[in-house]
Structure 1
Amino acid sequence: MKKAIFLDRDGTLNVEKEYLYQEKDLEFEKGTVEALSILKDLGYLLIVVTNQSGIARQYYTEEDLKHFHQAFQKKLSVFGLKIDKFYYCPHHLEQGIGKYKIDCSCRKPKPGMLEQGISEFDIDRKSSYMVGDTYADVQAGIAAGVSPILVRTGHGKREEEKLQEGEAKVFDNLLAFAQDRKQRESL
């Protein structure tokens, strides 16, 4: 079995920008590249799980999102890095239009995207993590049986108030989490 870091995208890996889908607007959070490098060196699969209600609202298409993720990979490849898989939820029950207006199992806080990754990559839940900047990310991690991590980037500082005692570990950013993993795994 493999170990993985499930990563929220917006506000965790890249700077939070509402309904981000254009390459020109992609800006990594400070320390993202170094963090991903550390986690990859520790043997983790890097799997993005991202709610993309902009598709459901018809702000952009699934094809637009695929092009954006290709650009994301290209930007990381300069540093010898790549995301092992991008999973996305294009649905929104209230704001969705047409086929996207459904109550799905993939929209976080539901664990559908994580479950898909766990199944596809034969992932060991006990040695894996869900890292994100919202309480929905934490809840998805808990529901999937992986360790939830909240980062204070993006919406994280505000969302931290929603945490119950001991519900998730909190770090200033993805790099702080990666450095903590490196330190703990070297003991």
Structure 2
Amino acid sequence: MALIRDAAVFLDKDGTLIDDVPYNVDPNRMRLAPGSRSGLRRLHERGFRLVVVSNQSGVARGYFTEDALRDVEERLRDLLRAFGVPLAGFYYCPHDPLGRVKRYATDCTCRKPRPGLLQRAARDGHFDLTHSWCVGDILDDIEAGCAAHCRTVLIDNGNETKWQLSDRRVPDYIARNLDEAADFIIDATGPGRPVRPHSTARP
């Protein structure tokens, strides 16, 4: 089976990759969401690099510091490493225009639904965004993916409650979990092209 060249699957963290525990930075409370293991393993085997892109407004709101996210990243890497899947990148936005911490209370370009996180990850990892995918549990994730020229999958687990649709907020596919999302991504990708060797080291 041919592999995919220079493509990523950008994954929202809370509610997509792991169970949604609001503003949680305790590694002991992090649990992979249903379907994650099988889905991520198959995407990795297909040649996609897996990158987390996450809004973390708890920093701007003063709930926790950026330093706390280092332990979150380490825990994610450990959870995936346990079944042989490397994490190619961990990107987060600490901003919120209404935040209490002045340093982070800004209208940035990295807070989803804007595409800044995906674009930065693509520059760092030399990913082809037009062959990449964005997977998330709310339509802000879908809009960010579309704005970055990725294809998109929505995990419909009840976390999207507003359903404010527009041209950039309609996913290519709606799945129940990451396993089902992987099925669609792999089927939609087709035979692909040979992949050149890539590093799984941190960006």
TM over 0.5: yes
**Aligned-partner Cα distance in 2 for 1:139–1:181:** 18
- For residues 115-150 of structure 1, the C-alpha deviation after alignment (integer angstroms, 9 at most, x for no partner) is 101111111122111100111101101111111211
Instruction: Tell me the SS of whatever aligns to 2:14.
Output: coil
Residues 62 and 99 in structure 2, CA contact (< 8 A), matched pair in contact too: no
In the other structure, the counterpart of 1:163 is: 165
Aligned residue type for 1:124 = D
In the other structure, the counterpart of 2:177 is: 173
- The one of 66, 74, 93 aligned to 2:70: 66
How far did residue 91 of structure 1 move?
A: 0.5
- The one of 39, 46, 59 aligned to 1:42: 46
Structure 1 residues 109, 184: closer, same or farther in 2, change over 3 A? closer
Structure 1 residues 100, 38: closer, same or farther in 2, change over 3 A? same
In the other structure, the counterpart of 2:88 is: 84
**1 or 2, which has the higher helix percentage?**
1
How far did residue 41 of structure 1 move?
A: 0.6
How far did residue 163 of structure 1 move?
A: 3.3
**Aligned-partner Cα distance in 2 for 1:84–1:153:** 25
- For residues 9-49 of structure 1, the C-alpha deviation after alignment (integer angstroms, 9 at most, x for no partner) is 00000011110210111011111011110100110010100
Aligned residue type for 1:8 = D
How far did residue 184 of structure 1 move?
A: 4.1
In the other structure, the counterpart of 1:93 is: 97
**Aligned-partner Cα distance in 2 for 1:43–1:122:** 14
Number of positions where the alignment pairs a residue of Structure 1 with one of Structure 2: 185
Structure 1 residues 102, 77: closer, same or farther in 2, change over 3 A? same
TM-score by length of 1: 0.92
TM-score by length of 2: 0.85
How far did residue 85 of structure 1 move?
A: 0.4
Aligned residue type for 1:87 = Y
Instruction: Tell me the SS of whatever aligns to 1:142.
Output: helix
Q: Which runs of 4+ in 1 moved over 6 A?
A: none
Instruction: Tell me the SS of whatever aligns to 1:53.
Output: coil
In the other structure, the counterpart of 1:2 is: 6
**Structure 1 vs Structure 2: percent identity of aligned residues?**
33
Instruction: Tell me the SS of whatever aligns to 2:15.
Output: coil
**Aligned-partner Cα distance in 1 for 2:25–2:140:** 21
Residues 96 and 102 in structure 1, CA contact (< 8 A), matched pair in contact too: no
How far did residue 96 of structure 1 move?
A: 3.9
- The one of 120, 131, 141 aligned to 1:137: 141
Backbone CA RMSD of aligned residues = 1.8
Unaligned runs of 5+ in 2: 192-203
